[in-house]
Structure 1
Amino acid sequence: MTMYAALLRGINVSGHKRVPMAELRTLLTELGHGDVRTHLQSGNAVFSSPSDDENLLAAELERAIEKRFGFPVPCLVRDGAYLAAVAAACPFPAAELEGRQLHVTYFGQPVDAARFERIEAADHLPEEFRLGDRALYLYAPDGLGRSRLADALSRPSLAPGITATSRNWNTVLKLVELTAAGEATHPGAGA
């Protein structure tokens, strides 16, 4: 069994696309997953599965959510090892920053750095971003809500047709912790 995190995009924001976490847990259990837990109300769930196909797991979850709730919700599924690797590869001094100052945007597929060349980094200082493995790290010292760089990075033209969803650093670390804790309950999981 491998531990995964499901990252749902754009739910429970200002009363739109409401997906209660208890119902999401039930749905994941009905799909045959174990060790199901959720974190916060913003679409973070962890679960175990014998599958090794993240894209298949995400597609199944998307279909099930649309059938149950009546609206589409883009989902990304990533295993615990990937989440830990993304956290470990952070190019910013995460331990010195507040969780609201650092964010990771997870992409559904690799994104070419050339897509971001037209963003003038100097125009957004002290805010900065770096690309990683299907992830973008954003340092926004005044938080995401006031970030001009976040607005520039979120333009659909930069990653057309690619599912993307962001989490603050506190959530990034919590998902690493939750998927690692699940791995510990399943010796040899993910092997």
Structure 2
Amino acid sequence: MSTQRQVALLRGVNVGRAKRIAMADLRKVLGDLGFSGVRTLLNSGNAVFDCPGGDAARSAERIEEALVLKLGVGARVTVLDAQQLAEVVAANPLLEQAVDPSRLLVAVLSNPADRVKLEPLAHQPWQPEAFALGQWAAYIWCVDGVLASRAAAAMGNLLGDAVTTRNWSTVTKLHALAMEA
């Protein structure tokens, strides 16, 4: 059976006091699920691993279950394969205007079919912010910061926990990890 490199994004982990998970515990949970080569990035629920079989949606379900059963933490998990993450990076249309990578958000969709719900946002005037859609993610330039972003708030209102965001710096680091041999 072939393996596939995957990237797991845990929503809301280690933000504030809720949903605290040590990355060593996350690596152990993923290893116990049969994933190999598990590496985590930062302390916010980002993991890269190799998965036998390669069904990203099934990996997400298994990780969500294991987090509750093994660590007592309920968190929405989104999994992309390495190629999908590469497409997210390559498709970012906001790089020219987004001069601060910490204010450029990538909102990864748990279900790509939810993209349709976000299409109206892509046609609204957000200046000085910007909002764009790709196949697997939305891109939001939060010029005045994430908490002040009208576009980010509108997206959150539409999708709730069906989307998880990472800033551009984190996404590019995850991409580099996912591309390592």
TM-score between the two structures when normalised by the length of structure 2: 0.90
1:17 to 9, 16, 19: 19
Deviations along 1:110-142, whole A, 9 cap, x unmatched?
2244545278733x3110111111311101122
The corresponding residue for 2:10 is 8
1:52 positional shift: 1.8
Counterpart amino acid of residue 51 in structure 1: G
Give me the whole-angstrom Cα distance separating, in 1, the residues matched to 2:26 and 2:132: 32
Alpha-carbon distance, 1:97 to partner? 1.9
Structure 1 equivalent of residue 103 of structure 2: 101
Q: CA–CA distance in 1 between the matches of 2:74 and 2:152?
A: 24
1:121 to 124, 129, 153: 124
Deviation at residue 2 of structure 1 after TM alignment = 1.5
Counterpart AA for 1:126: P
Unaligned segments of structure 1, at least 5 residues: 185-191
Q: Secondary structure at the match of 1:146?
A: coil
Residues 21-170 of structure 1: pairs in structure 2 closer than 5 A: 21-93=23-95, 97-110=99-112, 111-113=114-116, 115-117=118-120, 121-122=124-125, 124-155=126-157, 158-159=158-159, 163-170=162-169
> RMSD of aligned C-alpha atoms?
2.0
Distance 2:96 2:51 in 1: 30
TM-score by length of 1: 0.85
Q: Distance in 1 between matches of 2:135 and 2:21?
A: 29
Report the Cα distance in structure 1 between the residues aligned to 2:164 and 2:71, rounded to whole angstroms: 20
Which amino acid letter does the alignment assign opposite residue 54 of structure 2? D
When the two structures are aligned, how many residues end up with a matched partner? 178
Shift of 1:92: 1.2
Q: Which of the pair has the greater relative contact order for Cα pairs under 8 Å at 6+ separation? A: 1
State the secondary structure of the residue aligned to 1:125.
coil
Q: Secondary structure at the match of 1:46?
A: strand
SS of 1:159's partner is: helix
Specify the structure having the higher radius of gyration (Cα). 1
Mean Cα displacement is larger for which, 30-39 or 112-121? 112-121
Query: 2:178 matched to 1:176?
Result: no
1:65 CA displacement: 0.3
Compared with structure 1, are the counterparts of its residues 31 and 112 closer, same or farther at alpha carbon in structure 2 (3 Å cutoff)? closer
1:15 Cα shift? 1.0
Give me the whole-angstrom Cα distance separating, in 2, the residues matched to 1:112 and 1:151.
Answer: 16
